[in-house]
C-alpha cells in the first residue's frame, strides 16, 4: 500500500519518464488494458498482483482520481510500478487528470486535505505531462476517442504539449468524446460544448486509414465492458463505485479476453 505522503515524490519521478502526447507504438505478447479506476486502489492492487509479473505491458486508460477518497494513493501506486519498470506500465491521461474536473469531483479537496493547500500544483504538472494515446498491437488506446479534427494517429504527436486543461480542441476531444455506432459522423455530446459522439462511418474510416484493428478506451460507466462497431471499439470500466462490474481486457497472442475483477 502506498502512503499518500509518498505520492508527490513518486509522481515527480514518474513525470520524468513521460515522453510526450503520443507514445511510440508497441507490439507485445501479453498486454492488460485497464479502464477508469477512479480511486479504486484496491482494484489497482489486484491488477498488479494478478498481472504485473507475467505481462509485458499494462496500459492504464486514464481517470485515476475523483469520485472517491483514495485518488492520491491510487495514483501513487501506479506511478510506483511505472518507476519500477517504465517499459511495463503506460499511464494515459483521462479527462479527470485535469483541473477542469478535480475541483468538482473531489480530487482537489482530497489532495488539499491529505497533503496541504499547495500540493495540488505538482499533480497538475504530472497530469499535463501524461500522454494522450499509444498504439499497442494495432489498437489505438486512449481515454475518450476520435476527434472531429483527427485524421491520423501521428497528428497526436504534434498537439500543443503540455496543455493543462487541455484547451486544444483536438486534445480535449481525445479525452472527452464517446463512440456511438448507431450514428454517423460526429454529433455534439450531452457532456457539454466541445465534446462529441463519434459514429460508425468516421470510426471505420479512421481505422482503415491508420491500419488499426480497433480502439480501446475508457471514459464511460459501463458494466465492465461495452462493445461498439462489432467489437472494434471496446470500452472498459475498472471501478466499482457505480455498483456494477469492473473489468480489464487481456490481450494474449492476439486474442482478447474480457476479465471481470
Partner 1 sequence: MKRLSIKHKAKQKDPDLDADSAETLIWTCSACGADNPDSKQTCVSCGGDRAGDSATPKPIEPAVEPTIEPAEEPEPLEAPEPEKTDAEETPPEPTIFSFDTDSAKLEPPSPEPETAPFLPTPTPYSQAPPSPTVGHGRFYMVFVNTPAQSLIKSKVPIEFDDFPVVSIGRSPENVVVIPDQEVSRKHAELTMSGTRLMLKDLNSKNGTFLYNGKEFQQVHDSVEVKPNSIVKFGTGTIVRLTGE
Residue with cell 489498437: 139
Should residue 162 be labelled a site residue for partner 1 when binding is judged by CB under 8 A? no
Should residue 193 be labelled a site residue for partner 1 when binding is judged by CB under 8 A? yes
CB of 230 to partner 1, least distance (A): 9
Reply yes or no: is the peptide bond before residue 137 cis, omega within 30 of 0: no
Q: What is the C-alpha separation between 246 and 260, in angstroms, rounded?
A: 6
Radius of gyration of the chain (CA): 17
DSSP 8-class letter at 147 = -
Should residue 86 be labelled a site residue for partner 1 when binding is judged by CB under 8 A? no
Backbone angles phi, psi at 35, to 5 degrees: -85, -160
Should residue 54 be labelled a site residue for partner 1 when binding is judged by CB under 8 A? no
Active-site residue, selected from the candidate residues 96, 143, 219, 242: 96
> Edge-to-edge, what's the strand order for the sheet holding 186-188?
178-179, 196-198, 186-188
The yes-or-no answer on residue 96 being catalytic is yes
Among 220, 238, 239, 240, binds partner 1 (CB under 8 A): 220
Should residue 49 be labelled a site residue for partner 1 when binding is judged by CB under 8 A? no
Among 85, 188, 205, 209, binds partner 1 (CB under 8 A): 188
Q: What is the C-alpha separation between 147 and 38, in angstroms, rounded?
A: 24
Should residue 218 be labelled a site residue for partner 1 when binding is judged by CB under 8 A? no
Should residue 50 be labelled a site residue for partner 1 when binding is judged by CB under 8 A? no
From 2-10, 41-49, 80-88, 195-203, give the range in contact with partner 1 by CB under 8 A: 195-203
Residue with cell 482537489: 108
Among 9, 26, 86, 99, binds partner 1 (CB under 8 A): 99
The three-point CA angle 92-14-238 to 5° equals: 35
Q: What is the C-alpha separation between 196 and 145, in angstroms, rounded?
A: 9
Comparison of 154 and 243: residue with beta carbon closer to partner 1: 243
Site string for partner 1, 108-137 (x = CB under 8 A): xx--x-------x-----------------
Amino acid at each position: 500500500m502506498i502512503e499518500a505522503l509518498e505520492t508527490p515524490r513518486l509522481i515527480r519521478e514518474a513525470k520524468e519518464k513521460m515522453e510526450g502526447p503520443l507514445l511510440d507504438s508497441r507490439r507485445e505478447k501479453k498486454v492488460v488494458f485497464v479502464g477508469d479506476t477512479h480511486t479504486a486502489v484496491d482494484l489497482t492492487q489486484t491488477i498488479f498482483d494478478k498481472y504485473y509479473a507475467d505481462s509485458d505491458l499494462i496500459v492504464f486508460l486514464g481517470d485515476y482520481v475523483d469520485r472517491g477518497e483514495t485518488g492520491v494513493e491510487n495514483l501513487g501506486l501506479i506511478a510506483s510500478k511505472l518507476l519500477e519498470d517504465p517499459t511495463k506500465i503506460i499511464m494515459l491521461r483521462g479527462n479527470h487528470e485535469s483541473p477542469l474536473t478535480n475541483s468538482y469531483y473531489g480530487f482537489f479537496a482530497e489532495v488539499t486535505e491529505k497533503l496541504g493547500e499547495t500540493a495540488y500544483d505538482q499533480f497538475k504538472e504530472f497530469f499535463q505531462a501524461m500522454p494522450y494515446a499509444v498504439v499497442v498491437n494495432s489498437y489505438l488506446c486512449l481515454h475518450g476517442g476520435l476527434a472531429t479534427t483527427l485524421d491520423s494517429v501521428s497528428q497526436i504527436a504534434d498537439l500543443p504539449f503540455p496543455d493543462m486543461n487541455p484547451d486544444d480542441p483536438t486534445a480535449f476531444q481525445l479525452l472527452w468524446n464517446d463512440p456511438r455506432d448507431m450514428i454517423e459522423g460526429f454529433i455534439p455530446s450531452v457532456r457539454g460544448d466541445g465534446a462529441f459522439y463519434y459514429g460508425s462511418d468516421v470510426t471505420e474510416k479512421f481505422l482503415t486509414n491508420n491500419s488499426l484493428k480497433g480502439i480501446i478506451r475508457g471514459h464511460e460507466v459501463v458494466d465492465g465492458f461495452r462493445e461498439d462497431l462489432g467489437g472494434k471499439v471496446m470500452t472498459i470500466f475498472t471501478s466499482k463505485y457505480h455498483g456494477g462490474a469492473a473489468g480489464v481486457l487481456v490481450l494474449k497472442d492476439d486474442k482478447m479476453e474480457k476479465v471481470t475483477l
